[in-house]
Amino acid sequence: MNGSHDTHSKTIGYILWIFGFTGAHRFYYGKPVSGTIWFFTLGLLGIGWLIDLFLIPSMDRKADLRFTPGRLDYNVTWILLTFLGLLGIHRMYMGKWLTGILYLVSGGLFGIGYIYDYWTLNDQLSQINRGG
């Protein structure tokens, strides 16, 4: 695969997998429904979490094909969302200054915007990277 289409990183995927019982790695790879299920079931009681150890390379390849590369880096944005999301730093990085500041003063709109971004961040980045 051409490096220019490498939107997601296996390394970041495995780092998020460590916290996989929360579904973080599944959200990262664009699987919000199963990410939510992992969150509420602690990675299917740990069984799904262990299986995902072997599925990450496949999830990475599919995400690389599905999402649009461009000026915004998926890995940087996901790290910012995961660790500083309630502060809106990831939104400021994406050029969404108004909502970034709104997140900053409201705790990610009281956590609801933070959850919304977990569900939609890959699509938001693809849209921006396509020039939309």
Give domain limits for the chain.
1-66, 70-132
| Angle separating helix axes 112-129 and 74-84, nearest 10 degrees | 170
Query: What number of other Cβ atoms are within 10 A of residue 21's Cβ?
Result: 17
Q: What is the pLDDT, as a whole number, of residue 21?
A: 77
Give the predicted TM-score (pTM) of the model.
Answer: 0.89
The tokens 């915004």 sit on which residue? 72
Identity at 6, one-letter amino acid code: D
Q: For 88-122, what is each residue's pLDDT tens digit? A: 999 999 999 999 999 999 999 998 999 999 999 99
Tell me the pLDDT band of 38, cut-offs 50, 70 and 90: very high
Q: Tell how far CA 115 is from the center of its chain.
A: 11
Checking if the pLDDT of 65 tops 70, the result is yes
For residue 122, count CB atoms less than 10 angstroms from its CB and return exposed for 0-12, middle for 13-18, buried for 19 or more.
Answer: buried
Among the listed residues 16, 24, 22, 59, the one whose alpha carbon sits nearest the alpha carbon of residue 43? 22
Q: What is the pLDDT, as a whole number, of residue 105?
A: 97
